[in-house]
Amino acid sequence: MCFFIAAWTEETVLYKVLYNIVKQETHPTQYRCTPREMILHSTFDWELISKHLSVLEADGLVEVQQGDAPSFSITEKGIAHLHLTIPQPAKIIYPETPSNFTSL
């Protein structure tokens, strides 16, 4: 049995929260997430969320739009990067039963 242990940074945790919000959308990169959604789905306050979103934006993983109501979305690069860095559940492959196997 193999276990994967990761020490995720706060940015990675926030990034995963954003992905979980948009992943069921038909076009996840077009979904504009609000600060309220991020606050409700994470354990961070808005000041910390904003700080981490700036880091993720600098890396090209999210897009932040400032204005009367700030919003943000995950980018195509962000989705691709997330699939590479977040471990996916292992696929279990069972051996085939030999065709000449007979039960007792």
pLDDT tens-digit series, residues 20-29: 899 888 999 9
pTM for the whole structure: 0.69
Q: Any idea what the Cα angle at residue 85 is, between residues 83 and 90, rounded to 5°?
A: 70
Contacting residues for 54 by C-beta, under 8 A, at least 6 apart: 64
User: Which tens digits make up the pLDDT trace of 37-68?
Assistant: 999 998 888 899 989 899 999 999 999 998 88
User: 3-class secondary structure for the chain?
Assistant: CCCCCCCCCHHHHHHHHHHHHHCCCCCHHHCCECHHHHHHHCCCCHHHHHHHHHHHHHCCCEEEECCCCCEEEECHHHHHHHHHHCCCCCCCCCCCCCCCCCCC
Alpha-carbon distance 15 to 67, whole Å?
21
Band (pLDDT 50/70/90 cuts) for residue 32 is very high
